[in-house]
Structure 1
Amino acid sequence: MSEPLIRLRGVTKVYGEGATALQALKGVDLDVQAGDFVAIMGPSGSGKSTAMNVLGCLDTPTAGGYMFQGVHVESLTRDQRARLRRRYFGFVFQGFNLLARTSAQENVELPLLYRGEPTAARHAAAARALASVGLTGWEHHTPAELSGGQQQRVAIARAIVTEPAVLLADEPTGNLDTQRSREIMELLWGLNVDHGITVLMVTHEADMAAYARRIVRFVDGVVANDTLNPHPAGLHEAPALAPSMTPPATEVH
């Protein structure tokens, strides 16, 4: 097996000091191969969200090692981590986090605006991303004019417009009904299979986790078990998506 895309070794995370210190992670070991689809589960306070924040370079471990394509992330400066995050990671949240008075296209363009991409390039990339999530024709609608499922599709398009290597989804179906939840999971499965994007997803829902190739369960700040799913639900349900977007090689300066 090739070197993992992501490797955590002995990762701990402590918040606070002294008697009030909270150890959220207590020595986490985890490998994720490129192209994997991992569901991260566990009760509230188990450490799964903290682990996702560390994996997405939104937080740093107190101790231990985090390697991303051979780069020691824990040794990077804040600016280097920010560049790594912007270039290689896309984020999807339970609450969509869309700008209310801004069109779908403008919401999707936002990460490219932060990168300083020219207007024409932003427009073209946003149109491709929206098409890949089935929203061609909805570019100029605001979130208030979209259903919950459509809003989450816009959020996913925003996450993939930069062509990330890794998509981190935190309860992506938490605000959706059953049918819309399945549509979003089929979309995530298709992005994983057709685009080669590695997906890491936090979920409390077993039927959503069933789409993943692996299910990692956190309990009390450690990985309690890591199980392969031999029959992911997406194998039978995912639609075909747009042509593959190839993630770039790692380069952090």
Structure 2
Amino acid sequence: MSEAVDKLPLIRLRGITKVYGEGQAQLMALKGIDLDIHAGEFIAVMGPSGSGKSTAMNTLGCLDTPSAGEYLFQGVHVERLSRDQRARLRRRFLGFVFQGYNLLARTSAQENVELPLLYRGESAAMRRQAAQEALASVGLAGWETHTPAELSGGQQQRVAIARAIVTQPAVLLADEPTGNLDTARSREIMDLIRMLNVQRGITVVMVTHEPDMAAYARRLVRFVDGEIASDEPNPHPVGEGADTSVALPA
């Protein structure tokens, strides 16, 4: 592979706009976004409510389509894909973590984590082994049979993270992943996300309104009124240089 190809971004947005509604009710949520994301980056996306950061995240996650502009993922024009093709891209390359965990209430941690693999048609044996390994990697070995009601908020979010990484995605998209947690549990989750970024090389794009959580990222992108107001490196990410091999407590 040529050096030029090696340096291409994993994700490239060019002139991305998103318009909701018509006429006097029309709202332009994104106003021509340009953004490059390279493999292995850890980016925090910040901005006030209504700034466009969540719309941008939905676009990156193929949960919504832009009104105009180009979205390239590994050089493929995502905006030209069909609904089924976008779904396959999500299943193969993207993992999602949400503020509300989004776990199935009466389903065990093991079964929750297996779910993305079930959608991909993997065998029961493969699903079981991969889910157990994913749960162990987030510090929840031995908790496979517990339901969400039997887990703390931090443990539920770790199950959600295990579910997001069980498919070995290239990108982890995290939308306010610590929004429902106290300070101590929030730091545990951020240490885990940083570990996945550093040790596994998973590209992380995280939406957050909390500066303390954004401080873990190596790059800060701020949205204001549907535009990128600033895009700059974080010179001193939290935990930089720290030992990331220690598993989190259960």
Q: TM exceeds 0.5? A: yes
For 1:8-65, what per-residue CA distance to the aligned partner results, in whole angstroms no more than 9, with x for missing partners? 0010000111111110000000000000000000000000000000000000000000
Q: CA RMSD in A?
A: 1.1
Opposite residue 116 of structure 2, the aligned amino acid is P
CA distance in 1, matches of 2:169, 2:14: 23
Unaligned runs of 5+ in 2: 1-5
CA distance in 1, matches of 2:239, 2:101: 22
Aligned to 1:174: 179
How much has 1:238 moved relative to structure 2? Answer: 5.4
Would the alpha carbon gap of residues 191 and 241 (structure 1) be closer, same or farther in structure 2, given more than 3 Å must change? farther
What TM-score, normalized by structure 2, do the two folds share?
0.95
Aligned to 2:161: 156
Aligned to 2:3: none
CA distance in 2, matches of 1:191, 1:241: 12
2:123 corresponds to 1:118: yes
Contact 1:209 1:215 (C-alpha < 8 Å) held by counterparts: yes
Contact 2:42 2:203 (C-alpha < 8 Å) held by counterparts: yes
Contact 1:11 1:61 (C-alpha < 8 Å) held by counterparts: yes
CA distance in 1, matches of 2:20, 2:212: 32
Aligned to 2:143: 138
For 1:122-179, what per-residue CA distance to the aligned partner results, in whole angstroms no more than 9, with x for missing partners? 0000001001101001001011111100000000000000000000000000000000
Would the alpha carbon gap of residues 238 and 207 (structure 1) be closer, same or farther in structure 2, given more than 3 Å must change? farther
Opposite residue 229 of structure 1, the aligned amino acid is N
2:7 corresponds to 1:7: no
Opposite residue 213 of structure 2, the aligned amino acid is M
For 1:183-242, what per-residue CA distance to the aligned partner results, in whole angstroms no more than 9, with x for missing partners? 000000000000110000000000100000100000000000001012110315553169
Aligned residue runs from structure 1 range 186-205, under 5 A: 186-205=191-210
Opposite residue 228 of structure 2, the aligned amino acid is V
Number of residue-to-residue matches in the alignment: 242
Aligned to 1:57: 62
Contact 2:199 2:244 (C-alpha < 8 Å) held by counterparts: no
CA distance in 2, matches of 1:141, 1:236: 34
Contact 1:194 1:241 (C-alpha < 8 Å) held by counterparts: no
Contact 1:186 1:237 (C-alpha < 8 Å) held by counterparts: no
Aligned to 2:132: 127
Unaligned runs of 5+ in 1: 243-253
CA distance in 2, matches of 1:176, 1:238: 23
What TM-score, normalized by structure 1, do the two folds share?
0.94
Runs of 4+ more than 4 Å apart? none
Opposite residue 114 of structure 1, the aligned amino acid is Y
CA distance in 1, matches of 2:202, 2:40: 6
**Secondary structure at 1:45 match in 2:** coil
Aligned to 1:213: 218
Contact 1:132 1:241 (C-alpha < 8 Å) held by counterparts: no
Contact 1:39 1:212 (C-alpha < 8 Å) held by counterparts: yes
Contact 1:8 1:28 (C-alpha < 8 Å) held by counterparts: yes
**Secondary structure at 1:234 match in 2:** coil
**Secondary structure at 1:235 match in 2:** coil
Contact 1:91 1:159 (C-alpha < 8 Å) held by counterparts: yes
CA distance in 1, matches of 2:103, 2:13: 31
Aligned to 1:250: none
Aligned residue runs from structure 1 range 54-93, under 5 A: 54-93=59-98
What is the identity percentage for the equivalent residue pairs of Structure 1 and Structure 2? Answer: 77
CA distance in 2, matches of 1:127, 1:229: 35
CA distance in 2, matches of 1:72, 1:18: 29
